[in-house]
Structure 1
Amino acid sequence: MRTSHRSPAPDDGSTTVEYAIVTVAVAAFAAVLYTLLTGDSVVSWLTSLVMKALTVPS
């Protein structure tokens, strides 16, 4: 029985590396977005926006 040995192509594994880079980039973006949205200024802005929306003009 004969076994064939294939030498790896230069781009073998590049898809896995691309997925890893994208995953790290998405995680970093999510961390920045979470930090921005949970900051005091954004929370107060959203609270005032909701209060204005719920206020009935007289």
Structure 2
Amino acid sequence: MERARRRLRRDDGMSTVEYTLGTLAACAFAVILYKVITSPMVQEALSGVLRKALNTAF
């Protein structure tokens, strides 16, 4: 019984399914981030920040 319990609790790392789910989650996050960054409103805001930073006198 103890041997079976140890075998069930053993964790040798992630399985293929866990790697797949992690990869899919990372890809979904990347797509959402890309959509946000390339939206006109965000691009306009980023351009404004860059213009202000580049026009600042030292």
**Length-normalised TM-score, structure 2:** 0.70
Query: Which stretches in structure 1 are left out of the alignment for 5+ residues?
Result: 1-9
How large is the RMSD of aligned CA atoms in angstroms? Answer: 2.3
2-side partners of 1:21 and 1:50: how far apart? 37
Cα deviation for residue 16 of structure 1 reads 0.4
Structure 1 or 2: larger helix share?
A: 2
Structure 1 segments of 4+ aligned residues over 3 angstroms from their partners: none
Q: What is the aligned-residue identity percentage?
A: 38
Q: TM-score, normalised by structure 1?
A: 0.70
Q: Aligned residue pairs: how many?
A: 47
Structure 2: state its 5+ residue gaps: 1-7, 9-13
